[in-house]
Amino acid sequence: MKRIFSSPIFPLLAGACLRMLFVLKFPAGSGDSVIYEQLATNWLKHGKFAMDIAGQPVPVDLRMPGYPAFLALVYALTGRTGESARLAVMLAQVLVDLACCVVIAALAALLVSLCSRQANRQRAFLVGLWLAALCPFTANYAAVPLTEVWATFLTTAALLILVMVAAEVRGEWPEWPRREWIEEKGYWSLVALGGLVVGVGALFRPETPLLLVTTMILLGLWMWWRGETKRFVLSAVLMACACALPLVPWTVRNAITLHEFQPLAPQDTMLPGEVNPKGFMAWERTWLFRVRDCYLVPWKLNDDEIRLGDIPPEAFDTPEERDRVAAVLEQYNEDLTLTREEDAVFAQLARERTARHPLRTYLWIPMRRAVRIWFTPRIELLPVSGHVFPLAYMSEEDPVDQRMTILIFFLNILYVGLGIWGGWKLWKCRRSRGAVVLLVVYIVVRTGFLTTLETPEPRYVLVCFPALIALAAAAFAGTQQGIREAGK
């Protein structure tokens, strides 16, 4: 038994089995999967980053090119495209996700290395590897053609590098291993590498540079306090240039093909000729906070009927508001196409609701979204309804479904709780506080950004789980004596 828990082979095998279970038993897809597959197919067959519109491939910029490039590579190697190539895509994602587990474990080992010589770095690595390998919330996305696996891997790699940079800036880098490696040229290499990895990550998810912005702000505060303003300016410029480098071909392509300056995918991803429903989305942000309502309202837009009865009561402050929405939906449901005039009505409703209750729009709804995306049962890729209440009825009607939902819900709470516990233990050690601040601030910034999106999908917060898992692993690796000694 000791041998099982002391070797990295066994957690990797367990993680591979878990991911293969999802791949073979619970493969999934989504509307975004179809978009990515179409972009990759047209890129491979026609040499165009394009969507099929009216039977013709039309160049677009509605998604970043990283994931379609990965799909196109798999298609080229297998000779298959679209759904027929999904198994090969998923198998490749299993390998990427297992590599991410190793990087998470390395981040956990780094955190305890910063804290204390007495801390067991090997134990931190193994615990981090087990927690990452057996985490079902990240593992199940290996079984769906979406960007989550790659985005999580690249974000974790960037976190590992940027924590090293932060430790050197704050003078927290330990004497073991040899400090000379991180000083002078090693520091600048890490700064450039961190920016470069973030830039590659932005090719998969356009919000990845939030990590770099967070790091720059913290480095600026720390270096200003230490009187190293010039060093910060040089570091920031180098990181920004390194981050921009992978985005240059994409930016040039958009300038030549679409005649626009667009280094990242636009926030409003619309196909040519579609009405941008800004008013409708502004109205949503005054009441929508749970992903269940996304299936009933926004994700039906321009595709299916939206029924007034599916909209929750909190979307209406007065009966007059409800009547106005009902009138617009009656017109929309006739042709299933939102017009500019109908969108303008929603925009006016959004302005009125925000003026009436500004804190609701700018504070309470974002806070409720944040709680939901962190603590909702993560069952969206599983054949589980998620119905728990009423307890007695569901226990009799579908006990397996109810128990699975409750189990996953508390497992999610366990991971978050372990991360908080580990972060608190590391905070008590002064040498690791900079790393803890960087990880926690990034999680907060990322979560705050997600609350501003039109649909609060829980999957978008998965890129924060590597930081959470690394902090959790650190809780099991340090000795209290070592932490006390390092904190003196």
pLDDT in tens, 191-219: 999 999 999 999 999 999 999 999 999 99
Neighbours of 267 (CB within 10 A): 10
φ, ψ for residue 363 (rounded to 5)?
A: -130, -60
For residues 4 and 120, the answer to whether their CB atoms sit within 8 Å is no
51: β partners: 58
Question: CA 251, CA 263: separation in Å to the nearest integer?
Answer: 5
pLDDT value for 488: 46
So what's the pLDDT on residue 23? 95
Helix axes of 86-115 and 399-427: crossing angle, nearest 10 degrees: 30
Contact 48, 158 (CB under 8 A): no
| Domain coordinates in residue numbering, the chain | 278-381
Please confirm whether the linkage preceding 177 is cis (ω < 30° from 0).
Answer: yes
Angstrom distance (rounded) from CA 100 to CA 381:
20
| Cβ atoms of residues 116 and 479 within 8 Å | yes
3-state secondary structure of 56: strand
CA 154 to chain centre: 11
- Which mean pLDDT values do the consecutive 10-residue runs of the chain (488 residues) have? 72 95 90 91 91 84 93 95 93 97 95 77 90 94 95 96 89 57 69 96 94 94 89 94 96 91 76 76 91 86 88 92 92 88 92 94 93 85 69 66 82 93 89 91 94 85 94 76 48
Preceding omega of 174 cis (within 30 degrees of 0): no
Total-model pTM: 0.90
